[in-house]
A and B are shown apart, each in its own frame.
Chain A
């Protein structure tokens, strides 16, 4: 589940960009601080402008942030060991994957009092029962981002059909290149769950995508919102927060969660097992769950927050924004994608290779 969309256009240059934008922080002095530095591995455009500096002022701990673009990239780094990172942001299924692979440090809830701010609905998820390894940072839902003026008769494209199974927007469609998401949502469109997809259904989805391919302009690596903004395409598969960010700049854009339902994700804060600064890492996670600090972050990244206390502080145009918080009736049809073993990713990826090669 990549969310490169959380990155701006030049996100591929993550490392370089970070070097520039955070180098300034090194000059900050911390009053009575521990003088320690922790390394934070995050998605791009996924934190408030002042969050890290504020934390340093409050605690004296310096945070050095690097950026990754996909969970796979994160996994590959952590898997090899000795990555040097103290806090990471894996998505729900990768929390399961990494905890099963014994790569995550069990959290000490006593060191994270701000856990009380988290909405109880997020406290015991299937992917991390009892929040043993992770705390929720955001949640997100995949849906359809579109340009209102380009839709036929001003209709709302509220079905996956317009992406998967129709030539109405021939050449104006961009789909996510993440094979897992693409296959799962195809199954959702055909009326199945996103989990436990049978080989038959998978074949149907593959055939459907091969048939649809001539109508598709590109498989985007989660920069669908940029393609939409630059009028490269009119209708894309994207995450709600990504589209919410660009709607601010271009009111002709909109987002809808299709009536068939969709897939939910949740990005979580976790500590790698080999972290050298687990105490400071806990302190940082606790700070991220603080109501005030959280409100500053979500105001900027425009992703839905699982932090009830932070949400209470947010303005109405965030709380009542249908893009950030889609209607409950359609949300009821959405599911989390579970981690179904490492071979599953290979099955999806092979299908994707066939689709692209066909």
Chain B
């Protein structure tokens, strides 16, 4: 039986107080401090004045930093796109898997979360480096072909995989793929399958059923999958730092150096907040998509 929260205000308040306290003290307050820093400047060796200047934002809008923002958005967008293309079929396959296998498949998707991100990145490095598993395997195949064909391929040259933008995108896809698959799966799983049968019965092929029926119905899942893949990818710091080359600087790396090397917390705070604003915009867009979908369903 449903009961309005108005009928149990005391209970509602008691239940809400703990998370509310948590949210305010450990989220809003720190965020407000960073926000205050973003209008501040260094005073002396260790102090920061707050709400004294707009210079940090002015500097953040210099072409140098805008270009880094654009580059970060670009890398995050490619990552999200690849995750979507890879994740959709996987989510679909899990949806149609037998119930027993389903649990195991979902477990497999979540398995990487049991390991620290840093360890997973080091594992990737072991694969990608010049003398890593990929290159040693490739060397072995290469030598095999050469032995059979009498040196047809010439001298072996290791593939340059590490310290490239390719490695960064690969690393980000590797890390973020589960974030795409899980929301897609939860939407697809709730889908009314009789609609698929109807579509197939009425003469649509599998492909056109997929794009005209499944994809539109999974719209909300796709939107939230895109959002929760794109946002962490945009702010990723460890992956470009460890897998990237001299060209792979993303905005979070610049923010990190402001808080550490440059010891310019106010400017770092301003850059962080620009990232927060962009996230808000992303969430707003997702909200619109969802409302549109809800409207269609109604």
Is the Cβ of A9 less than 8 Å from the Cβ of B130? no
Task: Give B59's nearest chain A residue, CB to CB.
Answer: A350
Indicate which residue in A13, A79, A356 contacts B247 across the interface (CB closer than 8 Å).
A356
Name the B residues within 8 Å of A79 (CB-CB). 46
Known: A232-B129, A232-B130. A76 touches B42 (CB 8 A): no
Task: Give B258's nearest chain A residue, CB to CB.
Answer: A349
Contact with A along B225-255 (1 / 0, CB 8 A): 0000000000000000100111101000010
Indicate which residue in A179, A218, A348, A349 contacts B163 across the interface (CB closer than 8 Å).
A218
Q: Say whether B276 faces chain A, with CB atoms less than 8 Å apart.
A: no
Q: Say whether B262 faces chain A, with CB atoms less than 8 Å apart.
A: yes
Known: A101-B45, A352-B257, A356-B249. A345 touches B262 (CB 8 A): yes
Known: A9-B122, A101-B45, A349-B261. A230 touches B64 (CB 8 A): no
CA distance A218 to B245 in the complex (A): 5
Q: Say whether A155 faces chain B, with CB atoms less than 8 Å apart.
A: no
Name the B residues within 8 Å of A353 (CB-CB). 64, 68, 249, 254, 257
Indicate which residue in A230, A342, A352, A354 contacts B263 across the interface (CB closer than 8 Å).
A342
Interface positions, chain A 72-92, Cβ under 8 Å from B, are 72-73, 75-76, 79
Is the Cβ of A75 less than 8 Å from the Cβ of B263? yes
Is the Cβ of B247 less than 8 Å from the Cβ of A76? no
Task: Give B162's nearest chain A residue, CB to CB.
Answer: A232
Name the B residues within 8 Å of A321 (CB-CB). none
Name the B residues within 8 Å of A221 (CB-CB). 241
Q: Say whether B118 faces chain A, with CB atoms less than 8 Å apart.
A: yes
Is the Cβ of A346 less than 8 Å from the Cβ of B262? yes
Name the A residues within 8 Å of B160 (CB-CB). 171
Interface positions, chain A 332-355, Cβ under 8 Å from B, are 342, 345-346, 348-350, 352-355
Name the A residues within 8 Å of B45 (CB-CB). 97, 100-101, 342
Known: A13-B118, A354-B64, A356-B249. A346 touches B263 (CB 8 A): yes
Name the B residues within 8 Å of A345 (CB-CB). 261-263
Q: Say whether A70 faces chain B, with CB atoms less than 8 Å apart.
A: yes
Task: Give B121's nearest chain A residue, CB to CB.
Answer: A12
CA distance A345 to B259 in the complex (A): 11
CA distance A309 to B118 in the complex (A): 41
Contact with A along B166-205 (1 / 0, CB 8 A): 0000000000000000000000000000000000000000
Contact with B along A215-226 (1 / 0, CB 8 A): 011110100000
Q: Say whether A282 faces chain B, with CB atoms less than 8 Å apart.
A: no
* Shortest Cβ gap from A150 to chain B (Å): 12
Known: A9-B122, A12-B118. A213 touches B263 (CB 8 A): no
Interface positions, chain B 106-145, Cβ under 8 Å from A, are 116, 118-119, 122, 129-131
* Shortest Cβ gap from B295 to chain A (Å): 43
Indicate which residue in B44, B67, B163, B245 contacts A357 across the interface (CB closer than 8 Å).
B67
Indicate which residue in A13, A218, A346 contacts B246 across the interface (CB closer than 8 Å).
A218
Q: Say whether B260 faces chain A, with CB atoms less than 8 Å apart.
A: yes
Q: Say whether B264 faces chain A, with CB atoms less than 8 Å apart.
A: yes
Contact with A along B25-59 (1 / 0, CB 8 A): 00000000000000000101110000000000000
Is the Cβ of A179 less than 8 Å from the Cβ of B246? no
Is the Cβ of A357 less than 8 Å from the Cβ of B68? yes
CA distance A13 to B238 in the complex (A): 13
Name the A residues within 8 Å of B71 (CB-CB). 357
CA distance A9 to B125 in the complex (A): 11
Q: Say whether A178 faces chain B, with CB atoms less than 8 Å apart.
A: yes
CA distance A171 to B141 in the complex (A): 24
* Shortest Cβ gap from A201 to chain B (Å): 20
CA distance A218 to B168 in the complex (A): 13
Known: A101-B45, A232-B162, A353-B249. A10 touches B122 (CB 8 A): yes
CA distance A228 to B273 in the complex (A): 39
Is the Cβ of A101 less than 8 Å from the Cβ of B261? no
CA distance A49 to B119 in the complex (A): 25
Is the Cβ of B261 less than 8 Å from the Cβ of A178? yes
* Shortest Cβ gap from A231 to chain B (Å): 5
Name the B residues within 8 Å of A180 (CB-CB). 261
Is the Cβ of A217 less than 8 Å from the Cβ of B64? no
Indicate which residue in A97, A219, A231, A346 contacts B131 across the interface (CB closer than 8 Å).
A231
Indicate which residue in A13, A230, A346 contacts B130 across the interface (CB closer than 8 Å).
A230
CA distance A192 to B219 in the complex (A): 61
Name the B residues within 8 Å of A354 (CB-CB). 64
Is the Cβ of B260 less than 8 Å from the Cβ of A73? yes
* Shortest Cβ gap from A8 to chain B (Å): 12
Name the A residues within 8 Å of B247 (CB-CB). 213, 356
Name the A residues within 8 Å of B264 (CB-CB). 346, 349
* Shortest Cβ gap from B17 to chain A (Å): 29
CA distance A100 to B246 in the complex (A): 34
Interface positions, chain B 72-127, Cβ under 8 Å from A, are 116, 118-119, 122
Is the Cβ of A357 less than 8 Å from the Cβ of B249? yes
Name the B residues within 8 Å of A75 (CB-CB). 263
* Shortest Cβ gap from B43 to chain A (Å): 11
Is the Cβ of B131 less than 8 Å from the Cβ of A230? yes
CA distance A230 to B129 in the complex (A): 8
Name the B residues within 8 Å of A342 (CB-CB). 42, 45, 263
Question: What are the 8 tightest A-B residue pairs by CB atom distance, in nearest-first order?
Answer: A349-B262, A72-B260, A101-B45, A356-B249, A218-B163, A346-B262, A101-B46, A216-B246
- If A72-B263, A217-B246 are given as contacts, then 14 extra A-B residue pairs at C-beta distance below 8 Å, sorted by A number, are A10-B122, A72-B260, A101-B44, A180-B261, A213-B247, A218-B162, A218-B163, A232-B162, A345-B261, A345-B262, A349-B262, A356-B249, A357-B71, A357-B249
20 contacts between A and B (CB under 8 A): A9-B122, A72-B263, A76-B260, A76-B263, A101-B45, A216-B246, A218-B163, A219-B246, A230-B129, A230-B130, A231-B131, A232-B162, A345-B261, A345-B263, A346-B262, A350-B262, A353-B68, A353-B257, A356-B246, A357-B68
Which residues of B are at the interface with A, using a C-beta cutoff of 8 A? 42, 44-46, 64, 67-68, 71, 116, 118-119, 122, 129-131, 160, 162-163, 241, 244-247, 249, 254, 257-264
